Amino acid sequence: MRQIILDTETTGLEPSDGHRIIEVGCVELIDRRPSNNHFHQYINPQRDIEDGALEVHGISSEFLQDKPVFADIVDDLLEFVDGAELIIHNAPFDIGFLDWELSLLDREDRMSDHVSVLDTLELARDLHPGQRNSLDALCKRYDVDNSSRKLHGALLDAEILADVYLIMTGGQTDLGLSFQADEPVDHEAGDLALDERPALLVLTASPQEIAAHEARVQAIHEKSGHCLWNDI
């Protein structure tokens, strides 16, 4: 299973107002594991950047002057993502801009011709209704380190979203296998005899807990098309 975590930065909020993509960042997952393969490109939008957008990502027009235009990188981008499932936070925004860029090149294809898309914002809203589900909020909820995210950046945000997505769809990540003794261990005393050890407490799930678990697994499967619990 090949998935691509994708993010973009733009000159403004609306492609219908003539705004353009200025950065694309992609991180590849193979069978839910980072492959260390990525795509990252700054793009000259050939137009000014709105002040509000500049405050968000900090990418200036001067910095982009010597960068390639979208037409120069589109084939490499589509080759990288082709056939994969795109994982995007607020997918309509990024897909809308990518489709806009394709239309400006008089191309007949759109992103849906190359990829399928999973919107992690919609997934988060289903899992956490009524709560804040921005990327920063999800980082706090899932204890993902985003301390380096002073400004938005397409590749950095894609890397952070990859961590969030894997935790959000993978269930428990801390298996509790680490051991910390309350007292220093006396290695010379040897192991405790079996009859000196406390009985192992085994807790079974209640019917209500089992039903809640099955409902969560089904919700994840319907959203992402795959859930590891179904393979167990």
The whole-angstrom separation of Cα 148 and Cα 21 is 23
The whole-angstrom separation of Cα 21 and Cα 161 is 19
For the question of residue 152 being annotated catalytic, the response is yes
The whole-angstrom separation of Cα 145 and Cα 165 is 13
The whole-angstrom separation of Cα 87 and Cα 7 is 9
Q: For residue range 156-179, what is the model confidence (pLDDT) as tens digits?
A: 999 999 999 999 998 544 333 333
**What confidence score (pLDDT) does residue 147 get?**
83
**What confidence score (pLDDT) does residue 16 get?**
93
Helix axes 91-104, 70-81, angle to 10 degrees: 130
Identify the residue with better confidence: 166 or 228. 166
Q: For residue range 24-43, what is the model confidence (pLDDT) as tens digits?
A: 999 999 999 999 999 999 99
87, 164, 206, 218 from 119: Cα distances, Å: 6, 13, 32, 17
Give the lowest-confidence range in 32-36, 106-110, 179-183, 220-224: 179-183
Q: To the nearest 10°, the Cα dihedral for 17, 86, 79, 68?
A: 40
Residue 228: pLDDT over 70: no
Cβ distance 121 to 90 under 8 Å? yes
Whole-structure pTM over 0.85, yes or no? no
Identify the residue with better confidence: 195 or 59. 59
Which listed residue (19, 57, 89, 152) is catalytic?
A: 152
